[in-house]
Structure 1
Amino acid sequence: MLRTRLLPLVAVVSATIPQLAFAHGYMDYPPARQEICDSDGGYWESTDGSTIPNAACRAAFKESGWYPFVQKPEFAKLVSDFTNQAAVEAGVPDGALCSAGDPKKAGIDIPSSEWQATPIDPSLNGKLTLLYRASTPHNPSFWKFYLSNAAYNSATDALKWSDLDLIAEFGNVPVVVINEKKYYQMTITLPTDRTGNAVLYSRWQRDDPAGEGFYNCSDVSFGGDIVVPTWQSLGAAVKATDNANSGDTVWFRVFDGSGTETVFEKLAIDVTNQDEAVWAAQLADIINNGSTGVRLGKLSQDGLVSWDNADLYGNLVYVKDQSATFQLDIKREVLNNAPVLNVPLTVNVESGQSTQIAVSATDADNDALTFSASQGTVTVTGNDATIGYIAPATTTDLNDTITVTVTDGTASSQAVISVNVKGSGGTGGETNWDANSTYLAGDKVTHFGVTYTAQWWNKGEEPGTSSAWVADKGAGDQAWSKDIAYSSGDTVVYETKTYKAKWWTKGDLPKNGGPWTEVK
């Protein structure tokens, strides 16, 4: 199984770094084994390593736990006699070279055919530019790089010093800054006649009394007898932390080297597929059947990629474009929150007077709000509103209500304001009827010269046309009412004029003629 880690194609800036007390770092390109395992992740989500995508990293986890991964810049050994190769080999013994002789990191030494190897580009004629991540830079120091010989097999053998050939040495190397990170950068020459897999072994040795040195194993592939597959891995397709719930949407995107999106697939999650194993398999089916340059699953010896339901976290993302990257996101369902309305419970106002009632609302989603009211005029400023209300003219106290509504366009809230109208305290005698006034049972008004008595609470109901009013009967002619039946010869007053019924009638306006004739 091969893993591609491309050298960053960015401007490199030299930097002068002050001397520090401690040095730490690791091989970033080609990536050291512990860097690959840490980058792939999955080691926090299970105790048996089942969530780790790479089989070699799983084996390392079972042997040493997560310690080698989180300690990736500290694969170090103190050898005070560091210029003595025999002393170095005693401190970092055979079979423990990749762990820098640390028993707590021994999982990195385990032989496996699954260690992800970085392909060597044959067109560069053996030239390989190394990037060593300088977590804490330090000079003076020196470097030695070794390559395992052709007889060594990383799938079956733990690395020994006798398996290595020294291919490059450097003294102090200046620090460079790439994407705001500090690196040591060196170019070495590899043999051009090699085929198959090999281990590039790096030693970064501090020149100080303690003799701290850093030792890393990077797996590489020269091709040749080992067929380099068309597909290149970008890492685990899904992780144990990729939790999706009903209503969410899974986004899967692939970008080329310039950042242009080349693949974008969405998968809706509901109660039938919210289990990760289910939706991940559905996503793989969509990608594997709909995209030519991307596959999700495991790579077989014959170069085919297929999804393995039995090993969810061992499935990887494979691409044909070595510069490609991918992104899997779970977009949570966006739930709209109804606005919260704030209004006064009660308002007091004098009969016939106006008042301004302040209301407000809040919206957790910061949506634009619209206010309305069942009465009055509404003036809105942002999330605040003012309701202009005019109380009805009344001689007695009464209660009115205003229903206020606020909406964000999707959800709305309502509240009721109770308005206490203080009556004017008049005698309750006759007044001219007013369409804008409120009347209670027993109130009397005059309308077109006729006195009417209110039968119940009413407003805007015209005397002589509504059963809410009954005309008072006097000694002479009575006021016409639509609710009274009249016989031939009855006389009534309507709009200051007197009319006489010609036959039985009820509800017919006298001024319209018909059963009525005006008495001159």
Structure 2
Amino acid sequence: MNNSTCKLAAAVFTLSTLSLAMVPQSAKAHGYMVVPQDYANSCKEGTTTDPTLCTETIGNQRNQIVQGEAAGNHKHVVPQNLCSANMGGEYSALDIPSSNRYATTLTPDTDGYIEISYMTTADHKTWYTDIFVTRDGFNPDTDALTWADLERVEAIDWHGKFMSGSDTIGTAGIKKYKVKWPEAKTGKRILYQVWQRTNPYHMEHEVLGKPVQNVWDSNEAFYSCANINIVSDGTPPDDSQWKSNEKFAPETPHLKIGDIVTARIMVDGTTRVEIDLDINANNIEQKVWKHELATKVNAHKPTEDLLEVGVLNSETDEVTLSANHELNRIFFTNEGFSHLIHVTQADQTEFEFTWNGLQDVYDKKPGESINIPLDLVITEGNDVSYTYIATLIETVQRNGQPVVIEGTVGDLQSFKIDKTGEYSVNVVIKDENEVTESRYFSFNVKESTNPEPGNTSVTWNNQSGVPVMVALQHGIWGEWLSAGATLNLSSDAELFNRPGWEVKEGDELNLGALVNGVEYVSCGKVTFSGDIMLNISKNSCSVN
């Protein structure tokens, strides 16, 4: 993805967004559920393919099903349309109940716990994750979700820490946590999760009470709906020949006669075997083609001693194919084995592409720009014309809009980069037959030299009578300063040298302070040069 007085809510929101620049990260804000797979993520991953249930925006923004001013009052900001967080517009597709949505099969472990995997594309200081399940009698295929349909499973209190467990440093990536599952809640249901970032003035929680009082972050909350199937324990015995297993063919693609469904058997993420099934009028129903494909997988001679699809008898350690495709799992005799289902559409020829010459890191001189060539190459495909749309975003968004380049593969264009930071580029290529492939690329732009510290210094003089937090600008915060105290920082101080926000001699800054943790007071634009004195009162700031 790619600062004047205001109330705390706005100040905290800006703080939460901009302060991400203080920590090096490798992903966009903010998160989505991987296991079980939530609705938006299933749109991106292609496991839900019904076009009425997904849009390109939902897939690309799967980590931003969010309400910015939730502050713990979720029923107020999301009174209805829970799965879209009441965001409206294209996101309303997330609120449509349908049997065509992907459902993750989960089996509680021997202690009755299920494990949730959540991808934080940007980690945040967190108050809680609140996990709910739908009531008995609720049908995810036909019923629109309301708060009255939800029963709390567990509220996990993170006590203002990052979900990575740290007090100070957030780390993007998958976070895993277990919850005790209610024994009676089996079958198909919706698991609903609320991820609430922390601030002292959030609404009290029904179970956890008041939030932690000394940690400031944001009012934001993120929401996830995931269809789940809870089945009984089929864990292999300790001496079992089966070393790993997973739900067989969890994908629910929309198929047409003439399509080809392929089971790809992979070892450590690399495809080793492909087993195809032609789709015709007799097997186009999901329950039929999944059973036929499982039968072909079990009969495939090269892998018959390595895997089996079906239901495990934990007493005999035998796997038997079930007529109910929802119950079948694929069992492997080795760790590192997995599978996925791929669909080749009728008259579709796949292609592959790469970005030729892309580097992981680029050096940029201070004050200059660099051009990064967008050299796209079709590595496998037909001799036809290919068009592309490439969208560049700054991993830590500060301001501005994504940069979009459109063109034809073979016509060389470039991205002009004038800021340091981590960047991601989503490239979507389409051929003459409307066959589409997409990939994400990333790179980092760093300053090639580090300027020597100058003689500039800034002094904050707290005349407000209450504690203040010094600020480089609205959202980039420094130390707390008690009433009547002063703080002098030279240009080599950490506040002026945070990655991505380095300040140079002669820069114009919007210096200020957060008074009593409630109101931001701006000192206006100040040229970063010489000795600067800021006199902070409760409602104003003067510059000497």
Q: TM-score, normalised by structure 1?
A: 0.40
Q: TM-score, normalised by structure 2?
A: 0.39
Identify the structure with bigger relative contact order (alpha carbons < 8 Å, sequence gap 6+). Answer: 2
Q: Which has the larger radius of gyration?
A: 1
